[in-house]
A = this chain, B = another copy of it.
């Protein structure tokens, strides 16, 4: 009888929770659609942008109020009291929601709103400063964002050590400066010398055909075929064009990807598509236990990026993949590839070229770009680096890690949008994702051969392996717990460094 009463009590709490989530789902549905729309078809005139900003601002505040209410706090407290009667998934949800509400409770709504306004102004200030190569015009915004970030982090801090630890933990539960310093040191020790050797290599990589012209609509059709081949389900998503490629989880059965298409740079489209395809496949293969709930997303940015990088680099930039798709590419684009061999194609898509721009970086140098940002934001948050000294510090690190020095701030410290959006602590996830993708590959290869699977032209076993090991859990496990569960060891960048060394030694005949 008591058990039955307890059940009824839990059921009514769960029902109240579901009603609360209905509003969250509705708001999240429309704001996701509006954001996808803004980055694809929406007109960009100033008035339309302001009209959208007004609507989005309304929902941001509404969301804050809805999830930071006394009612919801009370409901979470009741659910915590009934913790043992909850499903493991619900227990995790309550834990995450408590973490979130405790954070929101400490923030003054006025501050929250002012910060939101600051961010939308900073976005425009950053765009203008980048276009005009005018760091001084942007510096006051970065300064104010840092002030808010420090203030909010100080107020909501729950992990030990410096403030930056908290920001790292916000993105990757369990991440600390200590761990990341070690991680990046290992990468630096192996990638920097490898890069120097490559720069001295006598191997000449032919890349003249990389800028040949490929009609837009044919590229778009190719991207759709590629997505399907990789295992992305177009019936539960869509492919659109955008300036910056991204993946959007509109709802559980509507996970969309975008690509960027340049007539004279066809590989940009191929690898954007494969990258976003990896993100999309992750979100499309959650278990129904978590799908549509607050756990119904990727575990964390690092694990997500491990998947996009896996589909982009480990699969699509591999020799086997080139061998499998190149004949078809040659058939579809006979004029553009008539004088190109499979080997030349493979080398061209893997050419190492140090550049100033992170998003255009090759597989080898990508992590070096991240290291620069990690070092600098760590110091910015600690206050040991002043905003005014950022340009110089940035250029010094590029010289040290990549051997090149930016000539302008536009191609230097102004190139990324992240800090203008208040995203400090986010960059490391990109590099973690690279390393994790290879650590997962090593584990996967105990069960199946990647090469043979690609050669059979059916990638389903790869998707199914990831679904079983990673995707289905959604956010149920923190990222490093999940990584250890799957690979039986902690984060180990050795695999990644070995992989890079083997791959590029062969290409550059080292």
Contacts and interface: CB of A to CB of B under 8 A. Distances in A.
Contacts of A216: 217
A39 to B, nearest CB: 12
A51 B217 contact: no
A43 B36 CA distance: 14
A320 interface: no
Interface in A36-84: 36-37, 40-45, 47-48, 51-52, 54-55, 58-59
A448 interface: no
A252 B47 contact: yes
Query: How many chain copies does the complex carry?
Result: 2
Interface in A6-30: 22-23, 25-26, 29-30
A251 B30 CA distance: 15
Interface string A250-292: 1111101000000000000000000000000000000000001
Contacts of A43: 234-238, 253-254
B34 A36 contact: no
Given A26-B58, A58-B22, A217-B217, A37 B33 contact: yes
Nearest to A220: B217
Interface string A84-112: 00000000000000000000000000000
A405 interface: no
A168 B34 CA distance: 34
A47 B253 contact: yes
A36 B43 CA distance: 14
Contact of A30 (B30, B40, B236, B256): B30
A227 to B, nearest CB: 13
Interface string A219-261: 0000000000000001111101000000000111110100000
B22 A54 contact: yes
Given A43-B236, A58-B26, A251 B31 contact: no
Contact of A236 (B29, B48, B234, B236): B48
Contacts of A58: 22-23, 25-26
Contacts of A252: 47, 51
5 contacts: A22-B58, A43-B236, A43-B254, A47-B236, A51-B251
